[in-house]
Chains A and B, each alone.
Chain A
Amino acid sequence: MASSMVLGIAVLIYLMITFYLGWLGYKQTKSTDDFMVAGRKVNPFILALSYGAAFISTSAIIGFGGYAGAYGMGILWLVFMNIFVGIFIAFVVFGSRTRRMGLNLKAVTFPELLGKRFQSRFIQGFSGLLIAVFMPLYASSVLIGGARFMETALSIDYNTAVLLLTIITAAYVITGGLIAVMYTDAMQGTLMFIGMAILMVFTYAKLGGVTSAHLALTNLASLVPEAMAQQGHTGWTSMPAFGSPIWWTLVSTIILGVGVGVLAQPQLAVRFMTVKNTTSLKRAVLSGGPFIFMMVGVAYVVGALSNVYFFREKGMLSFDVAGGNIDKIMPEYINSAMPDLFVVFFMLTLLAAAMSTLSSQFHNMGTAIGHDLYREYLMRGKIGHTVNITKLGIAVTILLSVVLAYVLPAGIIARATAIFFGLCAAAFLPMYIGALFWKRMTREGAIASLVVGTFSSLAWLTFVHAKEATALGISQAIFGQPTLLTGTWTLVDPILVATPLSMIVGIVISFITKPISKDHIEKCFGK
């Protein structure tokens, strides 16, 4: 009982700090630029923590940590991708050009950057629409994760938890804009960093040090259940068998889908436009790399090592301790292996992880509706009350996320993060790369790439990729079979099909259409 009181007090203090930072954001928000891109003068340390905290949600720690508990350390390749592609390449290669072009074109959102670069309101409006329609799916999965945690940790009703989480986060996003989002993100990121650091040290210490912990895990390989071994599971310290179902999911959906998809995440890309110079982006790499390592690296290593702990304590594998629900592996492990006080602290870490991702999603959905769709596309750029409409957009999309959290079947919600990442990669990545690095890409090429990427990705996940197609049930309803193709194809993630397709279409169409005027290219890229 004592720990629930400590937890109550800790949550209260945490919320007070959150409100204080939200209020600071509100005080500093005076212009549209402040609300949309935090006035373009954010400190590199804040940028790195905010980027990382928004990137890493509860599902990365609990969901993928649990995945490591069930399938082993192969998922560490995602950690490497997250650090190398998600931080280094993103900040140094994409970030500096995004920032400069955003400034040259006076863009305040990711769709606006693309729209202005290709002189197309359609690109901006369509991208905004895509975000407004599909990001609530991603947000609702984070919302459910956060609310489920509050339900168990604070023993409050689930519905109350959803409402509380939504209202608290919405309050500071709507009033304080991106400044409030990034300040609170940075505080939440710091909490997450400390929580994960303690988790790592405790776990290795408990299992007798790094090498002996790994060795014990390696020796468990003979215990892999027969059913999992047939799917390609070879143990927790080895890759799944090449070409097996587990291998395909790991490599195509998780390592490539999430690892590469992160580059085209609108709520992350917009952050590059919040700093004042390229040096800030380079400085942000210093804290960004270790931050991601401490988040996902620790979560996945600990997730896998939980098998050693449970085997020693209970003679069972993590998967069985969690009753076959991989989302319960991390909570089960932390509850039984860690000291009570740390359990309290870790609860706070998870609440912070959920809120920091939610806030950036809310902000991004709002700007997509208010700025990209309403102002630039429908009103043809008329100034009007953009910030107010954005705030209304935030409220509407939040409502949509909450409704989705109730209406959609659990199977779809669990896939939501992967669906959104895959869709972003196919729809935005080829056009975004073209915008930054290929001056010859034309407006028509960019539009074709956007449309082909979007619809081929949606079609693939509706009719071919088994995980989404069976959960959606649309293919079953229309064609009377769960997926249109069979065999290995049903394991290949949409990102591996739709992104290359979108890229090829973008290149071919660009070569047969008229290049963008030299003046405009000079304006985009500067002298």
Chain B
Amino acid sequence: MLGIDDPQIWVVYILCVVSAIGCMIYGALNWNKGNEEEDVK
């Protein structure tokens, strides 16, 4: 996979990419959620 034999490495390589993209999706999905949260006075 991706030129890497050891699954412990290619799995984490993919995990890094997936988690970075996951963060973007999470941030986008929650962009306007929870506005009812109390703001600082």
Contacts and interface: CB of A to CB of B under 8 A. Distances in A.
Our verdict on whether A and B bind, yes or no, reads yes
B37 A289 contact: no
Interface in A245-304: 276-279, 282-290, 292-293, 297
Chain A contact surface mostly: helix
A283 B8 contact: no
Given A73-B13, A279-B33, A279-B34, A237 B4 contact: yes
A83 B23 contact: yes
A490 to B, nearest CB: 25
B9 A73 contact: yes
Contacts of A286: 23-24, 26-28, 31
A149 interface: no
B37 A76 contact: no
B16 A83 contact: yes
Contact of A237 (B3, B23, B24, B31): B3
Contact of A283 (B20, B30, B38): B30
Contacts of B26: 88, 92, 282, 285-286
Contact of B3 (A213, A285, A287): A213
Contact-size category for A: 35 or more
A103 B38 CA distance: 11
B3 A238 contact: no
A32 to B, nearest CB: 15
Contact of B2 (A77, A211, A216, A293): A211
Contacts of B27: 282-287, 289
Contact of B9 (A76, A284, A288, A290): A76
Contacts of A77: 12
A279 B30 contact: yes
Interface residues of B, number: 31
A13 interface: no
Contact of A238 (B9, B35, B37): B9
A84 interface: yes
B19 A88 contact: yes
A154 B34 CA distance: 49
Nearest to A103: B40
A79 interface: yes
A297 B4 contact: no
A277 B34 contact: yes
Interface of B: 2-6, 8-9, 12-13, 15-17, 19-24, 26-28, 30-35, 37-40
Given A285-B23, A286-B24, 15 more contacts: A76-B13, A79-B16, A212-B3, A239-B6, A277-B34, A277-B37, A277-B38, A277-B40, A278-B37, A279-B30, A282-B31, A282-B33, A285-B26, A289-B23, A297-B20
Interface of A: 40-41, 72-74, 76-77, 79-80, 83-84, 87-88, 92, 103, 210-218, 235, 237-239, 276-279, 282-290, 292-293, 297
26 contacts: A73-B4, A73-B12, A79-B16, A83-B19, A87-B23, A103-B40, A211-B2, A211-B3, A216-B3, A218-B3, A239-B6, A239-B8, A276-B40, A277-B37, A277-B39, A279-B34, A282-B27, A282-B33, A282-B34, A286-B26, A286-B31, A288-B23, A289-B21, A289-B27, A290-B23, A297-B16
